[in-house]
A and B are shown apart, each in its own frame.
Chain A
Amino acid sequence: MIDNASTTGFNHCPKASLRLAIAGLLLGASVTVFATEVNDIGRMDLEQLMSVELETVTASKYSQKLSETASSVTVIGKDQIQQFGFRTLSDVLRTVPGFFITNNREYDNAGVRGFDQSAAYNGRLLVMIDGIRMNEAIYDSGFTDNALPIDMDLVERVEVVRGPGSSLYGNNAFFAVINVITKRGGNYQGGELAGAWSSFDTYKGRASYGRKLDNGLDFLASGTGFNSAGQSLQIPEAASPGNPLGESSGANNEHDKQFFAKANWGNFSFEGGYGRRFKGIPGGIFGVDFGTPASSLQDSEAFVNLQYQKALSPKLDFTARAFYGDYDFKGQYRYGGTLISNLNHAWWSGMEMRLLSSHFDGHKLLAGVEVQENWQLQLYADSSPPVSVSQDDSHDTHRVGIFLQDDMDLTKRLKLSLGARFDDSSLSSQSMFSPRVGLVYQMLTDTVFKLQYGKAFRAPTIAQQYYTVYGIPSQMPNKGLQPEQIDTVSLAWEQAFAENWHFTATGYYLKQSKRLGLENLDSFQHTVNLGADIGYGGEFEVQRRWDNGALLRSGYSLAFAKDQDPANLDPDVLSNVPRHLYQLNFMTPLFSPKWRGGFDMQVLTSRTSLQAKTPGYTRVGLNLLYQPITYLDLSASVYDLLGDNRLEPGGTYGIPQEGRTFRLKFECRF
């Protein structure tokens, strides 16, 4: 995405814009949308004021204009979240070029750039809320469903940065970095209640209260409850004489809670959240038993972040934050009358400090250090009856990362970004070095080229190294695992044309090595470092905004991947990944400004794996929003309008999808 106006802003007001561009170390949860001084804007006239940028991309740990980041970034704002009826982060990601979502009735999994994530719990994505790492410490899951402890109604915007991010963020910033930026108390100035009813007896309620006080204190608190009876499924392959149709009912329920609070005052900001997601696993999925009691899983995650940010001098910004996190997992799987229980718990704390300096002309230097201590990583597994404990151990680990980045202006049109991060983890004997080089060339006012090389990694999780369970199948530990690594080169072309149109084309080539995956042996399975993969492809996005708030956004991506592991029988097969992916989003006011409509569509071509071929599908969503008075929003949505009863790959048998569902929602403010 190119912001045309930002370049014209440069022309009209060189000094002020330059200062705006240089200044600004953004708090993850900051209320300050850009950093400059009141004095500066005091001297501007109306036209110059209009070039001041309000929102910037935080994905590089400090605010930057979109056109200045070397990565491919897609930003989805709250207007889109509301007008397309996005319910989860998965719904948002579905519309981002290069991304597709699969649901295996346990979790949502995001596939990126030609690689399916369903076996990795999204561990190759770094998911953050206001810059705070959400990937937990047991499986490194980056949840994109309701297990992410934030209600999408509270989201200001989602920034998706495709490409490696380990040079700043370390572990898990492998294919992409996703930063979910939340709203401020000032966005509310009072309370808000929301309620929604959806198909399959699904109810959701939320109460929020936020305010910005005269003394500068800005706060927001919110609670959400979600209950769903869930769809009944039929899995004919799992039929038995007692259950000739393979019917599973009542076991697909979901019960979620999300709490979130934030407060900003002066240089300090506090933020905390808690989310719990209980999900029943329908009989037949992954071979679990039909009937009651059903199999289930429950993820709970909590986080607290305290941040302090201060300009030590006009050219030196300092940020420090302390964080705490807690994750709890409870899995109950029933296979042939045997109950396998999994109880894992982790809690961690840490600190990060960073300095951003603009002392040297034409340089923005960022240096920082991040430490995380995982005080307890507890893994417990047993099977019953009779009770037989296969694992009961606790570990403590820590990781340290040091990062440095220099963004320099080589000429007025050419910017070079050099960065690297060094990571050391007590869990792995290997230290990781993740460099990144980016070149941004603004060839013409409306034309920008971006070239980037970066290295990223994903460390083996404690679960991959130690998880032990005797069951079907048995899983054994493997303590000698090494981090998997990826090298990515990308070239992007961003073009603005005809005033309001923006076009972006990105081509990439990537090489993964030591991919972490499951190896099936005769009597058990365990995680191993597999061979290398290469991938290449392109992502194209075009966007147009109209003055009345209408928006058109369309993406096409093409992905090729080759598995270079000699053991793979069919190296050219992208396992469960569509080669072509087409996305279309259009929202517009209807009849009058009180009515707004949203249309979104994703077209995936067929996916193949060694076991099966999944036909392509088209997913269409429609959303109608009606705002009769300022204080009331009503909406009606249809998801997967075409509802083509497709089966998703990934389980023991094909996994039936929800198909066409409806939602009615209200939001009222007071």
Chain B
Amino acid sequence: MIKKITVWALLLIFTAGAGLADEVTEYDLKAAYLLNFADYVEWPNSPKPITICVYGDNPFKATTIATLLEAKAGQIDADFKYPRQLEQLTACNILYLAPSEQENFGKTIALLRNAPVLVVTDVQGRSPPGAMINLITESNRLRFEINISTVLAAKLKISSKMLKLAKIVP
């Protein structure tokens, strides 16, 4: 018995030496959503490239972002930025509020009031007031809710294709 365990332990140690598997996590998928939203939304000033901001503790892996940007290089002209100051947020086109910022939603959104920034959150269960898009998990899939009135107030246009895929919340 001890001999068997030793053999296995050795095997385990040897195989442990190699690199990490490149498997997709929930946040990798969320990053892909953020990037894709750029393709379905029209901003009043048609920015190029489209600035996607992540505000709060960054939940995304840098390698994921790089891989995603590369995969969509010809199709979507976008950039990920990680601003630290609230004042910088108005320069964003898509703003993802990380879970660590959830308690400051009200403050952040008040600051942005009606600026053409697509505010994305991922609060399971209910879309926080002021959020335009809320990522949710449903039936084992990642889906999103759109709050139409806040989108309209910010003078953003969301393509009908994206609206069709979304759950519209009042």
Task: Give the B-binding residues of A (Cβ under 8 A).
Answer: 3, 5-6, 31-47, 49-56, 79, 186, 189, 212, 214, 216, 266-268, 308-312, 318, 320, 322, 349, 351, 353, 371, 373, 398, 545, 547, 549, 593-594, 627, 630-631
Stretch at the interface among B8-16, B43-51, B86-94, B107-115: B8-16
Could you list 21 A-B pairs, sorted by A, with CB under 8 Å? A3-B139, A32-B23, A37-B24, A38-B24, A39-B71, A41-B32, A45-B36, A46-B161, A47-B161, A49-B29, A49-B32, A50-B141, A52-B24, A214-B58, A216-B61, A308-B12, A309-B21, A320-B11, A322-B9, A371-B1, A371-B4
Bound-state Cα–Cα, A506 to B17, Å: 46
B137 at the interface (CB under 8 A from A): yes
B140 at the interface (CB under 8 A from A): yes
Interface pairs A-B: 8 shortest CB-CB: A42-B71, A593-B126, A55-B140, A311-B21, A38-B67, A266-B20, A41-B32, A32-B23
Contact A46 B67 (CB under 8 A): no
Bound-state Cα–Cα, A602 to B141, Å: 30
B79 at the interface (CB under 8 A from A): no
Contact A373 B1 (CB under 8 A): yes
Say whether, besides A3-B140, A36-B24, A189 and B99 are in contact (CB < 8 Å).
Answer: yes
Contacts of A53 in B (CB 8 A): 140-141
Contact B123 A630 (CB under 8 A): yes
Select one of A5, A42, A320, A594 contacting B12, CB under 8 A: A320
Select one of B22, B100, B142 contacting A52, CB under 8 A: B142
Select one of B23, B33, B143 contacting A37, CB under 8 A: B23
Q: Mark B129-161, 1 if CB is under 8 A from A, else 0.
A: 000000001111111000000000000000001
Say whether, besides A37-B24, A189-B99, A214-B57, A42 and B140 are in contact (CB < 8 Å).
Answer: no
Question: Quick one: closest B residue to A265, CB to CB?
Answer: B20
Bound-state Cα–Cα, A496 to B104, Å: 42
Nearest chain A CB to B148 CB, angstrom units: 15
Select one of A31, A37, A351, A593 contacting B22, CB under 8 A: A37
Contact B103 A40 (CB under 8 A): no
Contacts of B57 in A (CB 8 A): 189, 214
Nearest chain A CB to B68 CB, angstrom units: 5
Task: Give the A-binding residues of B (Cβ under 8 A).
Answer: 1, 4-5, 8-9, 11-12, 15-16, 18, 20-29, 32-33, 36-37, 39-40, 57-59, 61, 63-64, 67-68, 70-72, 99-100, 102-103, 105, 123, 125-126, 128, 137-143, 161-162, 165, 167
Bound-state Cα–Cα, A398 to B141, Å: 42
Contact A46 B59 (CB under 8 A): no
Contacts of A311 in B (CB 8 A): 21, 23
Nearest chain A CB to B58 CB, angstrom units: 6
Select one of B18, B29, B61, B137 contacting A41, CB under 8 A: B29
Contact A320 B103 (CB under 8 A): no
Say whether, besides A39-B67, A189-B57, A214-B57, A51 and B25 are in contact (CB < 8 Å).
Answer: no
Contact A42 B100 (CB under 8 A): no
